[in-house]
Amino acid sequence: MRWSAAFIPTLRDAPADAEAASHQLLVRGGFIRQLHAGHYSLLPLGLRVHEKVAQIVREEIDAIGGQEFLLPAMHPASIWKQSGRWDVMGDEMFRLQDRGGAELALGMTHEEVFSHLATTLHSYKELPQLWYQIQMKFRDEPRPKSGLLRVREFAMKDSYSFDLDDEGLDAAFDAHYDAYVKIFHRLGLAAMPVQASSGAMGGSASIEFMVASPAGEDDVLVCESCDYRANVERGTSQLETVVNLLSEEEAVRFPTPGVRTIAELEGVEEGAAAVNQIKTMVMVLDGEVTLALLRGDHQLNIQKLQDTSGAVEIRPATSDETLEALGARPGSLGAVGVSGIAVFCDLALKDRTGMVTGANEDDWHLRGVSVERDIDVKSWVDIREVQGGESCIECGGELKLIRCIEAGHIFKLGRKYSDAMGISVLDSQGKAQTPTMGSYGIGIGRAVAAIAESHHDDAGLCWPFDVAPYHLLITVLDVDDPQAMAVADSVQKLFGAADLDVLIDDRDARPGVKFADAELIGIPYRLTIGSRSLSKGQVEFTPRASGTTQMFDKETCARDALDTVLSMK
């Protein structure tokens, strides 16, 4: 390809709203352009990277027995209602009606559609099946940002396994785990598997593959003393032993005028250290006011509460809802003596006595509270958010909190969708059995952005060889020199015969512009051909990653460059 004929609109400056490095560099390098919030056009360079990422994913899923499909992106509401997720997906689902008034949705994911196809399976002899596609997904993100990292329209590889029993599901899950490890290695991503929440997907187990990056939106707990890795939505830790204060025979009211926070109560009441306080969070779960109780120095993880409660919709209660339910405003709330309201109590409050909490009367609190004596707990659950510096649940080592990009996610769905969608096969005894399912996703565009986040420097992108838009950039400094262009053409011909991609920069531009653009777009290797070096019988070869230039003889530079690239890739 000749740069002079290509559409590579490089920019000197990044868009003002671009904070993530990948967003800045993909725009500046002419890989993407925003159409409107959350929707990006892939330009020729961007599409080349995108398709190379997709091909690596495709090859590794094919290698574990995947069969590729292409399913509709627009779905009838009926299949989402059948699975029970029409309401679960909430405002993130794009919904519309056709001219006949039928309800439709743009697919956020394809469990329902693949499950619908799986109803054509009839015998255990047809199992296992592993189906996948690379298809557009649509999610009405409330705050799309960071370029390709959080968008409303994106390509995803989603695969689905169908097995007769749980052993088969375990095998399919493990096969995908291994395939994902290979995929991310080939993409040049140091992706770590972590325990994760299944969220709206449901199922018995899930693992996310996370790439450490300041541009990420997920916090991951990492123990460097063992292999424990968990998203904060799933993670837990060892808690230090807390010595209980003695409880009174019954809780005692005491005045706390103007006291509204944990810290303020610590300052006015002896024995009311945060570890001895009960924090009362008033939440609305599927329309019902609910209390979530935590130790005073702990924070609520809303995803944990949603997972453990099974709620579809979850939000904090309004001030009016709180006042109506408990008779007081935030700062004086508690669960002592409360009835008719479900109480979820964090495990850190188990067996705690001598506690302090709100009295459900403004400006009053209770001391000497015994949690299990005085509070009608519906469920003891892990709903606190673990912080960095706490002790690993596995080995006691120190946990670090690392910001990450979610690059992939694998789920054991079990029979949730099989039951809902009516999938049934006959086993070897002629009895009807419900297959078990797995679901496995990788966002292709997000992977492109994650690679850009992981492989760049101050000058621009540094693409790994296997996903680079071109493998070699030939920078011709004197495009009017026939000898220089002849050398460039000979190199391109030899690389093409080896199935390697070459871009020739034949623009009539200053050398400084060409070198700056070369570093910006990040092609792994550059061959620089100029009249001055040719007069000495030489050309320059420079790997993008190291920037160290070596000289090749002009007569053998094509073969020397190819051999060097093949040995270094």
Burial degree of 240 (CB within 10 A; 0-12, 13-18, 19+):
exposed
Tokens 């925003």 found at: 34
- Give Rg (Cα) of the chain: 29
State the CATH class of domain 252-381.
Answer: alpha beta
pLDDT digits (tens, 9 = 90+) for 283-313: 999 999 999 999 999 999 999 999 899 888 8
Cα–Cα distance for residue pair 189/486, rounded to 1 Å:
38
- Does position 282 have pLDDT exceeding 80, yes or no? yes
In the chain, where does the domain assigned CATH 3.90.960.10 lie? 252-381
- Does position 247 have pLDDT exceeding 80, yes or no? no
* CATH-assigned architecture of domain 470-568: 3-Layer(aba) Sandwich (3.40)
Mean pLDDT within 40-67: 98
- Does position 203 have pLDDT exceeding 60, yes or no? no
Mean pLDDT within 24-31: 98
pLDDT digits (tens, 9 = 90+) for 468-527: 999 999 999 999 999 999 999 999 999 999 999 999 999 999 999 999 999 999 999 999
Report the pLDDT value the prediction gives residue 246, as an integer from 0 to 100. 79
Report the pLDDT value the prediction gives residue 202, as an integer from 0 to 100. 53
Mean pLDDT within 380-395: 95
Cα–Cα distance for residue pair 182/201, rounded to 1 Å:
24
Mean pLDDT within 180-184: 98
Q: 17-235+401-453: what fold?
A: BirA Bifunctional Protein; domain 2 (3.30.930)
Contact 306, 272 (CB under 8 A): no
Cα–Cα distance for residue pair 48/469, rounded to 1 Å:
5
Report the pLDDT value the prediction gives residue 271, as an integer from 0 to 100. 83
Mean pLDDT within 223-241: 93
Cα–Cα distance for residue pair 96/333, rounded to 1 Å:
43
Give percent of the chain with pLDDT exceeding 70: 99
Strand order in the sheet with 278-285: 314-316, 278-285, 288-295, 342-346, 379-381
In the chain, where does the domain assigned CATH 3.30.930.10 lie? 17-235+401-453
Side chain identity, residue 519? E
Q: Nearest to residue 293, comparing CAs of 271, 277, 317, 309?
A: 277
In the chain, where does the domain assigned CATH 3.40.50.800 lie? 470-568
Cα–Cα distance for residue pair 379/336, rounded to 1 Å:
15
Contact 118, 154 (CB under 8 A): no
Report the pLDDT value the prediction gives residue 90, as an integer from 0 to 100. 86
pLDDT digits (tens, 9 = 90+) for 60-112: 999 999 999 999 999 999 999 999 999 888 899 999 999 999 999 999 999 99
pLDDT digits (tens, 9 = 90+) for 115-173: 999 999 999 999 999 999 999 999 999 999 999 999 999 999 999 999 999 999 999 99
Cα–Cα distance for residue pair 539/527, rounded to 1 Å:
7
Report the pLDDT value the prediction gives residue 198, as an integer from 0 to 100. 64
- Does position 201 have pLDDT exceeding 60, yes or no? no
- Does position 27 have pLDDT exceeding 90, yes or no? yes
Output the CA angle 327-329-331, nearest 5 degrees. 125
* Average pLDDT value over all residues in the chain: 95
pLDDT digits (tens, 9 = 90+) for 322-350: 999 999 999 999 999 999 999 999 999 99
- Does position 204 have pLDDT exceeding 70, yes or no? no
DSSP class of residue 27? Answer: H
Side chain identity, residue 551? M
3-state secondary structure of 155: strand
- Does position 249 have pLDDT exceeding 90, yes or no? no
Contact 51, 43 (CB under 8 A): no
Cα–Cα distance for residue pair 64/458, rounded to 1 Å:
39
Kindly report the backbone phi and psi dihedral angles of residue 267, in degrees, each rounded to the nearest multiple of 5, phi listed first: -80, -15
